[in-house]
Amino acid sequence: MARPGLSWCFLLLLLLLLLLLGPCRAPPAAPPAAPCGLRSVSVGVGALGLGYPSPETVVFRYCGGGCPAPPTLHGLALGAVLGPGGPAGGPCCRPTRYEDVVFLDSGLRWQRLPQLSAGACACLG
């Protein structure tokens, strides 16, 4: 019969080994200059690639920036299991709310594109 404390010792040794060896993935890129937040760009409706003919320009909002977070045990283990080039296992800057975009198409009809732009952002994951 196995001793009850043996599994804890194994997990502690595994954690220590992961911390000493570091994650098995590509070195992280330089940290982004700006934290996670809402960004915007003016873009022609045709450039959205959704098939709407229109000379209109809309403001497209998206989430961008970094999500600094201390390494978690899950992130360390994920890096070791997936190897180089795998996901970092940390949080990502993602939309938490979306907004509709309205524009006038070339047939002079109002078009509403539901949940096209980000409305708010947060570090998730």
Position with higher pLDDT, 8 vs 64: 64
The model's pTM is 0.62
For residue 62, the cross-strand partners are 39
Task: Look up the CATH number of domain 33-67+90-125.
Answer: 2.10.90.10
Q: What is the pLDDT of residues 56-97, one digit of tens each?
A: 999 999 999 998 876 678 777 877 888 777 666 678 899 999
- Residue extents of the structural domains in the chain: 33-67+90-125
- Phi and psi at 7, nearest 5°, equal -65, -35
d(CA 36, CA 115): 20
- How confident is the model over 9-29, as a mean pLDDT? 54
